[in-house]
Amino acid sequence: MTLRKDEAINDILIDYEKLANLVLGQLDEIEKLIASGKLHPDEEQLNLLTKNEAKINKLEVKLSEDIINSIALYQPVASEIRKLIACYRIVISLERIGDLTISNVKSMSQIQNEEVYGSLSGFIMKMMNLSVEMARKSMLSFLNQDMELALWTIQSEIAVDGFNHKMLKKVAEKATIFSEDKNVLISFIHIKEMVSGIERIADHAANIAEASYYSYQGKDIRHKRSHK
């Protein structure tokens, strides 16, 4: 029983790493797209994003089932249960980050005014870079049992929230100035959706870090974040 349990948990962690790498790959692709200044991915990049999204969804279902089965079948001890429950929470957040990546690509593709986007792209890039770094470190915090990375991620969410508030303020100000231009207004709407999506990626990264902290410290620190 013990050997089968250890093998089951190890297999779950191997699949977790595969899922994390897939999600990070998706984030890397949207970072490249934003950095390029383009609003539309090329055919090769779009195919890669779509194919990896399907892999993420399939692996998320498999991991969720394997975690539930491991708890039900192998009677894990308390520390193992914490790890499995934390992994279950993380898997949900990883799948949602994957969804948000695809949603952001769609929002970018619907922006009609390149000049408007260009005026805000530098700000968007900084916000995206920080959110991706948060996601990367939160995933590593669970894999490497590194609580410093987990705490850094949670604390960094405040900075992303600050970016989000400033960005939305800029969008609102510019949208008011160009309120009679339908093309520009539509672009601002999709930029706002994109920025909100990036902020939610950071939020899920913080959720992953909290689950990691719970797994290895045994303390649930959800709902205790400070927000400006």
Kindly report the CATH number assigned to the domain that includes residue 54: 1.20.58.220
- Residue 142, domain member (yes or no): yes
- Residue 224, domain member (yes or no): no
- How many domains does the chain divide into? 1
- Domain of 139 in residue numbering reads as 2-217
- Residue 225, domain member (yes or no): no
- Residue 84, domain member (yes or no): yes
- Residue 147, domain member (yes or no): yes
- Residue 47, domain member (yes or no): yes
Q: Per-residue pLDDT for the chain (228 aa), expressed as one digit of tens each? A: 688 999 999 999 999 999 999 999 999 999 999 999 889 999 999 999 999 999 999 999 999 999 999 999 999 999 999 999 999 999 999 999 999 999 999 999 999 888 888 888 888 999 999 999 999 999 999 999 999 999 999 999 888 888 777 777 776 666 665 556 677 778 888 888 998 999 999 999 999 999 999 999 888 777 665 544
Residue 148 — left, alpha, or beta (φ > 0 → left; ψ -120 to 50 → alpha)? Answer: alpha
Closest CA relative to residue 155, chosen from 91, 101, 202: 202
Q: Which two tokens mark 37?
A: 């200044």
The rounded distance, in Å, linking the Cα atoms of 116 and 201 is 23
pTM for the structure as a whole: 0.89
Q: Which pLDDT does position 228 carry in this prediction?
A: 43
Closest CA relative to residue 98, chosen from 181, 1, 204: 204
- Residue 28, domain member (yes or no): yes
- Residue 161, domain member (yes or no): yes
